[in-house]
């Protein structure tokens, strides 16, 4: 839901640095561990690399250079962004250099963020992708993306773009956990009914909008296309992150709202 905020994606930033370090200092990759949940913008990425002893100081300088670059680029959205380097020992396995370069280039090419804004609803993201997880260990690598859209055909178009980036280097690509699109219908009768009820109960205008998220409404709507639906609930901040929180008073408010809605069902 925060894909429109332009937050830094730790996997993309780490990949950007690693490709530059490979080109300039011939680093070699032992492992990468970036991101966590597929449905969360990655906040952290860790990589273990090797570098020739003659280039150790240059690697430290490059880290400092990119720390400055990243902090300037993301000073508004990620004011606490940092890039650090620490010594490591007993590294025995490395990714073959050809696979190493292909992997970094494919992740670099993989689209991340907004793919298209809605042409119908102002400021609503219609289609996006999140490069959520990058895992390199034991000579293998895995990249997990979450592609979302309220328009299924457009989602498939972006999926094909992502797949192409990895298929060009011979990677195996699979698809799972898809959420069908749920096209907003602000003029639906259910929206009018519940907006009026909100006005009656809370003496204020309901905040009716569309959000860019995977909701069960898409699954229900695919199987019951004639059904009108609305999604509502309490105020949540930082969803799917360690900062996730809910406003307790709004839980009580929407519980009463739900009960009154059920009472008025014909």
Predicted model pTM: 0.77
How many separate domains does the chain show?
2
Burial, 103: exposed, middle or buried (Cβ in 10 Å; 0-12, 13-18, 19+)? buried
56 found inside a domain: yes
Helices (H), the chain: 10-25, 56-73, 97-109, 152-167, 189-202, 216-223, 248-263
**CB of 126 closer than 8 Å to CB of 157:** no
Q: What is the DSSP letter of 251?
A: H
Whether residues 216 and 135 share a domain: the answer is no
- Inter-CA distances, 220 with 34, 180, 223, Å: 33, 9, 5
pLDDT tens per residue across span 190-228: 888 888 988 999 988 887 776 666 567 777 877 888 888
The C-alpha atoms of residue 29 and residue 50 are separated, in whole angstroms, by: 7
Whether residues 99 and 220 share a domain: the answer is no
Whether residues 142 and 198 share a domain: the answer is no
Q: What is the pLDDT along the chain (266 residues), one digit of tens a residue?
A: 577 778 899 999 999 999 999 999 999 999 999 998 878 889 999 999 999 999 999 999 999 999 999 999 999 999 999 999 999 888 888 999 889 999 999 999 999 999 999 888 788 888 999 999 999 998 889 999 999 888 889 999 999 999 999 999 999 999 987 766 667 777 788 888 888 988 999 988 887 776 666 567 777 877 888 888 888 888 888 776 677 888 888 899 889 999 998 888 77
The C-alpha atoms of residue 35 and residue 44 are separated, in whole angstroms, by: 6
Whether residues 93 and 203 share a domain: the answer is no
137 found inside a domain: yes
Domain limits for position 242? 189-263
pLDDT tens per residue across span 237-261: 877 667 788 888 889 988 999 999 8
Whether residues 77 and 130 share a domain: the answer is yes
Whether residues 145 and 224 share a domain: the answer is no
180 found inside a domain: no
- Inter-CA distances, 116 with 77, 119, 168, 217, Å: 21, 9, 24, 21
């Amino acid at each position: 839901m925060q894909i429109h905020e332009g937050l830094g994606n730790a996997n993309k930033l780490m990949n950007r640095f690693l490709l530059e370090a490979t080109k300039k200092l011939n680093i070699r990759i032992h492992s990468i561990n970036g991101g966590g949940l597929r449905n969360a913008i990655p906040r952290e990425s860790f990589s273990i690399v090797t570098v020739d002893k003659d280039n150790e100081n240059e690697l430290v300088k490059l880290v400092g250079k990119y720390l400055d670059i990243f902090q300037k680029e993301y000073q508004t959205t990620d004011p606490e962004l940092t890039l650090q380097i620490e010594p490591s020992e007993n590294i025995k396995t490395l990714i073959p250099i050809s696979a190493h370069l292909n992997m970094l280039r494919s992740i670099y090419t993989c689209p991340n963020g907004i793919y298209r804004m809605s042409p119908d609803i102002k400021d609503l993201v219609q289609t996006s992708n999140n490069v959520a997880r990058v895992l390199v260990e034991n000579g293998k690598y895995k990249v997990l993306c979450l592609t979302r859209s309220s328009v299924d055909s457009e989602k498939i178009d972006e999926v094909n773009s992502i797949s192409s980036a990895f298929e060009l280097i011979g990677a195996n690509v699979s698809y799972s956990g898809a959420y069908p699109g749920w096209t907003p219908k602000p003029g639906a009768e259910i929206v009018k009914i519940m907006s009026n009820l909100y006005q009656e109960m809370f003496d204020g205008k309901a905040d009716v909008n569309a959000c860019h998220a995977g909701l069960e409404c898409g699954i229900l709507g695919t199987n019951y296309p004639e059904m009108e639906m609305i999604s509502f609930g309490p105020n949540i901040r930082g969803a799917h992150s360690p900062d996730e929180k809910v406003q307790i008073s709004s839980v009580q408010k929407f519980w009463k709202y739900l009960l009154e809605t059920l009472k008025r069902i014909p």
